[in-house]
Structure 1
Amino acid sequence: MALVLSQPLQADRLKDLASVQGVRSNQLIGYGLVVGLDGTGDKAPFTDQTFRNLMNKFGITIPQGSDPKLKNVAAVTVHADLPPFAKPGQLVDITVSSIGNAKSLRGGSLLMTPLKGADGQVYAMAQGSLVVGGFGAEGADGSSITVNVPSVGRIPNGASVERAVPSGFHRGDTLTFNLHIADFTTAKRVVDKLNDLLGPQTAYAMDAGSVKVKAPRDASQRVSFLSVLENINIEPGEGSAKVIINSRTGTIVVGQNVKVLPAAVTHGNLSVTISEGSDVSQPGAFSGGETAVVPRSEIDIEQEPARMFKFGPAITLNEIVQAVNQVGAAPGDIMAILEALKTAGALKAELIVI
């Protein structure tokens, strides 16, 4: 079990607490072919169809019904994130993933592939040699070994931006900061800090997650304006009391404001062992009976001495940690104790199991 404790909050820059509305990346996706593989391509029907369409564009016609037996070609999807304010001619990284049964993309090259946005428009063109981190090997007897994922690769700077995404950054008289974690206290502190710097009524909170501030219309002035605002130090509000339990890994995260009321906790283990054996039944010399094997079962029950602990009152993280260590239980038992404390009303926090 790992018990993780959240630390007291400190002042953060506004750029670390919020993002500017409209300044965002956009997802791009495309479909293409990777060629030049060392016999590790796929045999999917859509790969054959795509290869035929590609050859037709170059004036080469493959007779219908013939099998080109593509072993060095793989059909792939290509995806990338287009950064905000990306301009034509700039380069972005791309990820290439096999969608057929290709064993590996190592050594392959991606042919020119258009990348489209959600509106169906082409925003970038991708092409280049893949960098694959994994590898696989297979023996003649069918044995094989695979390290990492050889069917996925990346191409650094593998796509060239062809179209800029329209941005509303320069529109209107205001800018909106969207907090990464919605909190009324944090929103109020952001408003107070901005109004102290820029003047009364310059900024106002729309809700717990958004703060709107008046901004100049001129693009260069707006950039300078934001460069000042995003470096303002603001102390975020403390989060609500929470205890997060990961039942798969045994990790328990205790928040800063968690409190425990006095409660008595008993902890013990009961183990049951069942062993199966057999005995031989030997009749008397003149009884006329037959020798038989008789099954024998033994049941052993052991219970460790249960100890009762006083859990709480605890109003600081150190006190809670000391109480947990005093119990000395396994991760699963600690989770059960916390759930029981919550049910009894002794745990003053939201208990979240993931």
Structure 2
Amino acid sequence: MPYCLIDIRQSILRSLAAVLTAVLTAVLAGAVLLLAAQPVAAQSRIKDIAEFEGIRDNLLIGYGLVVGLNGTGDDLGSAVFTRESLIGMLQRLGVNARDQNLDTDNVAAVMVTANLPPFARQGTRISISVSALGDSESLQGGTLLVTPLVGADGEVYAVAQGPIAVGGFQAEGAAEQVTRGVPTTGRIASGAIVEREIEFDLTALKTVQISLRNPDLTTARRIADAINGFTGLPAARASDPGTVNVTVPPTYSGDTVALMTDIEQLPVQVDQAARVVIDEHSGVIVMGENVRISEVAIAQGNLTIRITETPQVSQPGAFAEAGETVVVPRTNIEIDEDDERRLAVLPAGVTLQELVNGLNALGVGPRDMITILQAIKAAGALQAEIEVM
């Protein structure tokens, strides 16, 4: 074959290769732009949508006395429990006041509540809330005496004491009284000391249960898949919409805390049911992104009726020989019907944004929108659950 023909063929092949390279580059660039244009579903950490069973607060409650009030305490004549508690406390301190006529307004009976954090160790301080139990007017300036705080099992887990910080106040004079906030409740920051620990050994767990804050089958399945993909083992399984059971892998044996730390950082796409939440009292409407509407026609108009009473007085002239003054009623009735709002058609499968835009185009307010959404649901055109608060 002549050398010139070989050179021409190589030149043609190089040109074809360049054209193919340019086409593939354009196709790949278009695919990248198409993927970038598509919305990326938001993902949340497992830590933000679920919690591990066993890591929870425990509620504590106690009954105590607040002293040092400036005449705003309980009336010992009507608050019998305050009187008996005061007598019992004085007797434990060696003061016999059983047969005495106690008349003091500086003592109030209170209920003390607190949350015992998980894994709180002995000596840890926790904050408490104090609420008046009797007819005390204010707890401002009072000091809580030693109060045991018990759990649901009746055991004492903390002891509280200290000065109360009250956010509200009350002031009164001879003819007026002003109350700001709630002066009968207060708080003591770090006012209780933990005396008993709740034993719970995380390292001894062979299985870990994850509880979803918003139970959902799809989300639970995605959490299990994310954990299995991370560990490389079928360790997680969704047992119900709100629970995912995880078997501790051999690589994490004896180190369950490390497993929990790794699991709670895994990203998961959260799924949610189509739901419309309505608060009829305030007119608030909250709709999820999965709310869809079938093809439906909507018409909304306002009918306003105004009735105005303008009575007129009819009386005789200044020089009339006879006559009487008569009040003549005058009633004006006006009917105003808004005819500008036409029938609007929403196509099938409209999104949340399109639904809102369509209703706003009709000039629909929140109150009317609630009625329209309920009517659409009654017509079977709303593919969502309506929850009325």
Q: TM-score under structure 1 normalisation? A: 0.88
Alignment equivalent of 1:114, drawn from 145, 148, 157: 148
Which deviates more from structure 2 when the two are superposed, residues 297-306 or residues 131-140? 297-306
Cα distance in 2 between the residues matched to 1:255 and 1:45: 54
Structure 2 segments unaligned to the other structure (5+ residues)? 1-38, 317-321
In the alignment, does 2:386 pair up with 1:351? Answer: yes
Supply the AA of the counterpart residue of 1:242.
R
Cα distance in 2 between the residues matched to 1:8 and 1:123: 48
In the alignment, does 2:77 pair up with 1:42? Answer: no
Supply the AA of the counterpart residue of 2:225.
D
Deviation at 1:225, TM superposition (A): 2.1
Supply the AA of the counterpart residue of 1:332.
R
Which deviates more from structure 2 when the two are superposed, residues 316-325 or residues 126-135? 316-325
Alignment equivalent of 2:186, drawn from 144, 153, 169: 153
Q: Structure 1 or 2: larger strand share?
A: 1
Cα distance in 1 between the residues matched to 2:217 and 2:192: 42
Secondary structure of the 1:223 match is helix
Task: String of CA shifts for 1:248-299, please: whole Å, max 9, x gaps.
Answer: 111111110111223222222222233445566779xxxx997665655543
Partner of 1:51: 86
Alignment equivalent of 2:223, drawn from 190, 195, 199: 190
Cα distance in 2 between the residues matched to 1:177 and 1:291: 86
Partner of 1:62: 97
Partner of 1:221: 255
Q: Is the 2:235–2:249 contact (alpha carbons within 8 Å) kept by the matching residues of 1?
A: no
Sort the Cα spacing of 1:82 and 1:258 in 2 relative to 1 into closer, same or farther, 3 A.
Answer: same
Cα distance in 2 between the residues matched to 1:47 and 1:280: 69
Supply the AA of the counterpart residue of 1:108.
G
Cα distance in 2 between the residues matched to 1:122 and 1:71: 30
Supply the AA of the counterpart residue of 2:260.
L
Deviation at 1:120, TM superposition (A): 0.7
Map 1:170-249; keep pairs closer than 5 Å: 170-215=203-248, 221-236=255-270, 238-249=271-282
Deviation at 1:34, TM superposition (A): 0.9
In the alignment, does 2:68 pair up with 1:33? Answer: no
Partner of 2:306: 273
Partner of 1:331: 366
Partner of 1:76: 110
Secondary structure of the 2:161 match is strand
Cα distance in 2 between the residues matched to 1:138 and 1:201: 69
Task: String of CA shifts for 1:221-270, please: whole Å, max 9, x gaps.
Answer: 1222222222122222x211111111111111111011122322222222
Cα distance in 2 between the residues matched to 1:290 and 1:145: 55
Cα distance in 2 between the residues matched to 1:251 and 1:232: 34
Partner of 1:20: 52
**In the comparison of the two structures, how many residue pairs are matched?**
345
Cα distance in 2 between the residues matched to 1:136 and 1:17: 43
Map 1:119-130; keep pairs closer than 5 Å: 119-130=153-164
Sort the Cα spacing of 1:100 and 1:219 in 2 relative to 1 into closer, same or farther, 3 A.
Answer: farther
Deviation at 1:304, TM superposition (A): 2.5
Sort the Cα spacing of 1:276 and 1:105 in 2 relative to 1 into closer, same or farther, 3 A.
Answer: same
Supply the AA of the counterpart residue of 1:182.
P
In the alignment, does 2:346 pair up with 1:312? Answer: yes
Q: TM-score under structure 2 normalisation? A: 0.81
Cα distance in 1 between the residues matched to 2:369 and 2:111: 45
Q: Is the 2:87–2:98 contact (alpha carbons within 8 Å) kept by the matching residues of 1?
A: no
Identity of aligned residues (%): 43
Cα distance in 2 between the residues matched to 1:133 and 1:220: 48
Larger Rg: 2
Q: Is the 1:42–1:101 contact (alpha carbons within 8 Å) kept by the matching residues of 2?
A: yes
Task: String of CA shifts for 1:166-204, please: whole Å, max 9, x gaps.
Answer: 336455411111111111111111111211222332121
Cα distance in 2 between the residues matched to 1:350 and 1:244: 8
Cα distance in 1 between the residues matched to 2:237 and 2:204: 19
Task: String of CA shifts for 1:119-150, please: whole Å, max 9, x gaps.
Answer: 11110000011111111111211x11121111
Sort the Cα spacing of 1:258 and 1:25 in 2 relative to 1 into closer, same or farther, 3 A.
Answer: same
Deviation at 1:112, TM superposition (A): 0.4
RMSD of Structure 2 on Structure 1 (CA):
2.7
Q: Is the 2:46–2:268 contact (alpha carbons within 8 Å) kept by the matching residues of 1?
A: yes
Supply the AA of the counterpart residue of 1:319.
E
Q: Is the 1:216–1:222 contact (alpha carbons within 8 Å) kept by the matching residues of 2?
A: no
Q: Is the 1:85–1:165 contact (alpha carbons within 8 Å) kept by the matching residues of 2?
A: yes
Q: Is the 1:27–1:79 contact (alpha carbons within 8 Å) kept by the matching residues of 2?
A: yes
Partner of 2:199: 166
Sort the Cα spacing of 1:115 and 1:295 in 2 relative to 1 into closer, same or farther, 3 A.
Answer: same
Structure 1 segments unaligned to the other structure (5+ residues)? 1-6
Secondary structure of the 2:227 match is helix
Cα distance in 2 between the residues matched to 1:69 and 1:282: 73
Supply the AA of the counterpart residue of 2:189.
P
Supply the AA of the counterpart residue of 1:267.
Q
Task: String of CA shifts for 1:54-73, please: whole Å, max 9, x gaps.
Answer: 1111111114361x222111
